[in-house]
Amino acid sequence: MATITVSEARTKMRDVLERVKQGEEIEITQNGEV
């Protein structure tokens, strides 16, 4: 597991939240379910 800084983690979270707003969370959920 790679070590990341807090600022990097915050940036990644912002990117994820932005994608979720755009509807990608639906695709991730469907692909993640087995």
Contact call for residues 26 and 20 (beta carbons, < 8 A): no
- What is the model's pLDDT at position 33? 62
- Pairwise CA distance, residues 27 & 17, whole Å: 14
Query: Is 0.75 surpassed by the pTM of this model?
Result: no
* pLDDT, tens digit (0-9, with 9 covering 90-100), for 4-31: 899 999 999 998 888 888 776 566 666 6
* Token pair in block for residue 32: 């993640």
pLDDT of residue 7: 93
Number of domains forming the structure of the chain: 1
Domain extent at residue 21: 1-34
Q: What's the chain's length in residues? A: 34
Is residue 34 scored above 80 in pLDDT? Answer: no
pLDDT of 25: 59
User: Tokens in use for 6?
Assistant: 């807090």
Distances in Å between the Cα of 10 and the Cα atoms of 23, 24, 27 are 20, 19, 22
